[in-house]
Amino acid sequence: MLGSVIISGRFWRQTIVTVLAAGCFASLYEVTALDSKYAARQAVLRESTALPAPGARLAFSATAYCKGLTTVSGVAVQAGIVAADPELLPVGSVIEIDSSLPKYNGIYTVLDTGPAVQGRQIDVYMWSCYEALAFGRRPIHLNVMRLGWNPKATTPLFMDRFFAQPGGPSPLPARPLPQSIRPEAH
């Protein structure tokens, strides 16, 4: 009789502990899922509202154009050139486009502007006007690799990021350097 009581007591303890563990796991999973949805919403918001900066991934709208002989920068039009709003992406900026069509993914240079290119919109140059019309308007993501002509406004290289010191330059020595004391003249 005593053996059966101990077994049943152990069974109920195991059942209670299992139910509690399952409940904690379910609530933790729900909180994690909600946090993930919140983080995803914040990432989308950041992509659509953040100002361009080297290394930033941004949501833009893309169209295509095929007319013209020279760009605003004076360079002849050719593949790999895009027009953008100079307030967001100044002439000379280098961007990487990630679109739904792999054919148009790649690195482009902003060398042109246009009166119709305003805000978060870019205009990709294409030699064929038929291809430009077929391109239409599509949402894209772009990564800013360089902002304008300034070579220092680029994304940091992998090795620079890997070996970067978190606090900036090395701190000064702990002890102050000896200084000479000059006698005051009276």
SS3 26: helix
pLDDT at 56: 84
Nearest to 104 by CA among 141, 72, 70: 141
**Selected residue with higher pLDDT from 176 and 67:** 67
pLDDT per residue as tens digits for the range 145-170: 988 887 777 766 666 666 666 555 54
pTM: 0.62
The fold of the 57-154 domain, in CATH, is Barwin-like endoglucanases (2.40.40)
Query: 174 pLDDT exceeds 50?
Result: no
Locate 65 and state its tokens. Answer: 């154009």
- Rounded CA gap, 90 and 73, in Å? 11
Name the 3-class secondary structure at 70: strand
pLDDT tens by residue, 42-99: 666 666 677 788 888 888 999 999 988 888 889 999 999 999 999 989 999 999 999 8
Q: How far apart are CA 89 and CA 86, in angstroms?
A: 5
Percent of the chain's residues with pLDDT above 90 = 33
